[in-house]
């Protein structure tokens, strides 16, 4: 491998502008050598925006097969993730892919299996939600702050999609988004990292606004992904869990994860990175400041490069992604068939 990790990017969109390019700019031993977008013109515009001089491409397969690319970062919509991940691994490239991992569990399994076969570094972009207090809350739970966990409640209510005249978004179209819906996979990955895996779930979903105008304004199209999903379940550790998601809850309360146990309670307010806690004998909940030494920062790009150099694999590996994709698959099996679905899935 060259002295610097040479990175090729497929699909340099919004998150690359807001996070990945600024993050990569801080890394001395990595460089962006190629950007592939739908057009070379758009790739060039982004390169100029960040003062980069990579090769500009519009053919993902040409980038993947390039001999001067060590690692591929994929920022496309989920419908291209599996195809580009498998091709990159087959070409001997390390891979970083946006969440959500894949369209469905079948694709996630194929990606995970190929990653294991090749032994290359594979990571999924983590959510910035709860990142700041992630290490701290894991330590509190590990040290017994909650005691035995009884309940885990996760709520993400927003009014983002309340306006029926809001144009149809790609996340609301099956062929682009697959089974993914709302913040489900992202928040479930966080909860399972903190409190353990799910054992069984029962889910209901609804699409209240069933059609939306297309971006060109000339016609409307069907909304194919639900704007509300409610899930009840039991965790492997015996705790009861509930996950409530809606994008049509006008003035919805702040998203949060609530954990209740035999010895205490922890509530993580996701928008403000505020942790509230209380234990037996306390008069109520009070804020628990996140210690500076344990405040996790956004170092996603450095974590990927460090893993390639032989460092830790990170939290959001393909194995972790496979677990939340299994949860997502179970949710929509329950929605379609009715009744409980048990995990791990056997088919």
Domain at 144, CATH number: 3.30.360.10
Same domain flag for 254 and 173:
yes
Query: pTM surpassing 0.85?
Result: yes
Same domain flag for 260 and 144:
yes
* Beta strands per DSSP E along 195-331: 198-206, 211-213, 220-222, 228-235, 240-246, 256-261, 264-269, 274-279, 286-287
The first and second tokens of residue 150, run together, are: 């009884």
**Computed over its alpha carbons, how large is the radius of gyration of the chain?**
21
> Domain of 90?
5-127+299-316
Q: What is the DSSP letter of 37?
A: -
Same domain flag for 255 and 147:
yes
Three-state secondary structure call for residue 298: coil
The first and second tokens of residue 260, run together, are: 């209740």
Place of tokens 């999924």: 124
- Residue 343 located in a structural domain: no
- Residue 346 located in a structural domain: no
22: phi then psi, degrees, rounded to nearest 5: -60, -40
Adjacent-strand bridge partners of 9: 35, 73
Check residue 238 and give left, alpha or beta (phi > 0: left; psi -120 to 50: alpha).
left
Same domain flag for 154 and 264:
yes
Same domain flag for 86 and 144:
no
Q: What is the DSSP letter of 25?
A: H
Tens of pLDDT along the chain (347 residues) come to 568 999 999 999 999 999 999 999 999 999 999 999 999 999 999 999 999 999 999 999 999 999 999 999 999 999 999 999 999 999 999 999 999 999 999 999 999 999 999 999 999 999 999 999 999 999 999 999 999 999 999 999 999 999 999 999 999 999 999 999 999 999 999 999 999 999 999 999 999 999 999 988 779 999 999 999 999 999 999 999 999 999 999 999 899 999 999 999 999 999 999 999 999 999 999 999 999 999 999 999 999 999 999 999 999 999 999 999 999 999 999 999 999 999 999 87
Q: What is the number of structural domains in the chain?
A: 2
Residue 1 has a pLDDT of: 57
Q: What is the DSSP letter of 132?
A: T
Residues 6+ apart with CB under 8 A from 238: 148
Please tell me the distance from the alpha carbon of residue 294 to that of residue 302, in angstroms, as a whole number: 18
């Amino acid at each position: 491998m060259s002295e610097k990790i040479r990175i090729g990017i497929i699909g340099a969109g919004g998150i690359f502008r807001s996070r990945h390019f600024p993050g990569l700019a801080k890394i001395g031993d990595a460089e962006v050598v190629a950007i592939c977008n739908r057009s070379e013109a758009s790739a060039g515009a982004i390169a100029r925006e960040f003062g980069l001089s990579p090769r500009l491409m519009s053919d993902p397969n040409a980038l993947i097969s390039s001999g001067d690319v060590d690692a591929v970062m994929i920022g496309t919509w989920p419908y291209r993730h599996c195809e580009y991940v498998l091709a990159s691994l087959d070409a001997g490239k390390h891979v970083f892919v946006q969440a959500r991992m894949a369209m469905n569990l079948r694709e996630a399994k194929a990606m995970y299996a190929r990653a294991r076969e090749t032994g290359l570094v594979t990571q999924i972009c983590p959510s910035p939600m709860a990142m700041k207090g992630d290490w701290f809350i894991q330590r509190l739970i590990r040290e017994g702050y909650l005691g035995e966990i009884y309940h885990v409640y996760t709520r993400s209510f927003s009014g983002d999609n309340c306006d029926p005249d809001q144009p149809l978004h790609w996340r609301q179209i099956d062929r682009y988004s697959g089974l993914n819906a709302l913040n489900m996979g992202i928040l479930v990955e966080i909860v399972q990292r903190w409190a353990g895996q799910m054992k069984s779930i029962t889910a209901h979903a609804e699409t209240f606004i069933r059609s939306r105008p297309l971006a060109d304004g000339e016609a409307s199209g069907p909304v194919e992904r639900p704007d509300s999903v409610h899930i009840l379940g039991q965790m492997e550790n015996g705790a009861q869990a509930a996950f409530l998601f809606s994008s049509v809850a006008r003035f919805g309360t702040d998203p949060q994860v609530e954990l209740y146990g035999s010895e205490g309670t922890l509530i993580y307010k996701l928008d403000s990175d505020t942790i509230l806690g209380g234990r037996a004998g306390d008069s109520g909940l009070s804020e628990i400041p996140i210690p500076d030494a344990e405040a996790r920062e956004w170092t996603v790009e450095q974590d990927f490069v460090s893993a390639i150099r032989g460092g830790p694999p990170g939290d959001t590996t393909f194995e972790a992604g496979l677990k939340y994709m299994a949860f997502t698959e179970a949710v929509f099996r329950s929605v379609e068939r009715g009744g409980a679905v048990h995990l791990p899935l056997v088919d």
